[in-house]
Structure 1
Amino acid sequence: MTEYLHVAFGSKVVLQNVRNEHLDHKLLMMVDDEDKSRYQLLEKTTNKKSIFAMPTTYEILASRGETSDIRGWMNFTFITLNDAERDNFIRRYNAYEEGMDEHGFISSFLLQRNDNQHQLVMLSTWNMKSDWELWHAKNDFPLRQYESSNSLYGLMRKQYSFEAFSKQNM
């Protein structure tokens, strides 16, 4: 069954209100590591339609690790690829993530934005930010080729932590 990740952005107060209005949904409140005034709500579901008024919706193309729940520190890596590059990237993701055994790794999701099939997102979750930093520093880091200063891929990262641990099955 196809799964989706719906994301809504806003202030803490607004997103808490949305969360309180939908107590029957498992909505995860996250705070941006770089800007503590920026928040997002996440919902992982099999429902293609979001409860959010203006969501960013991603289809989960592949996943690895402990994926029943989203938990831990999160790194979102956004990349824009043409059709041929996209297909190759998905194949490489599936091959590389198959053997993922990095210390602190919890899960990884390959996401495709619903309104832009050329934008892929690799969401990885970790016990701690330092675990991801150690993996990122390795010479064989799988996204290294996309990180060069001359990159045409628009690679961008955003990192989030849970705002609160209540109601979230951490």
Structure 2
Amino acid sequence: MFPDDTLPDELVGYRVPTACQIAGITYRQLDYWARTSLVVPSIRGAKGSGSQRLYSFKDILVLKVVKRLLDTGVSLQNIRVAVDHLRQRGVADLARITLFSDGTTVYECTSAEEVVDLLQGGQGVFGIAVSGAMRELSGTIAEFPSERADDGEVEQAPEDELARRRTARTSRRTG
């Protein structure tokens, strides 16, 4: 599933319940952000009733960053500006970014010098190391079911003990 064991294949997507659980957001938040084009699913959007949206690894990473910015009090309007910058980046580029905010404006820093310049204003800021969120997401996401966009095949999450017992019980009944 992960070509370099750290990032998923670009055709691997995650359905809405999985994206919500991984990003730590509610369905209502995800739906609102998709309808208002804050974070839209890049693999497969909704195409009418009953269709399944598929979110990429990058989409879920952006969802996590949006959630963290909201949790720290940044307005949705300012988050939209930050998300526009993140959308233009590849996943590898995102790993080199640290986002800082003073609670109002979001700043993108890619070097220690930029961080020093930002901090010289003397005002308190917080930072989100996108690479840290990416590492956390890479470790977590592998435990969830995913779906390939090219053939629709669903990859199941690793089987746990309870699932193995159910499978064994079902095969004993049918066999």
**TM-score of the superposition, structure 1-length normalised?**
0.32
**TM-score of the superposition, structure 2-length normalised?**
0.31
State the structure with more CA Rg. Answer: 2
Normalized per residue, the structure richer in helix is: 2
Which of structures 1 and 2 has the larger relative contact order (alpha carbons within 8 angstroms, sep 6+)? 1
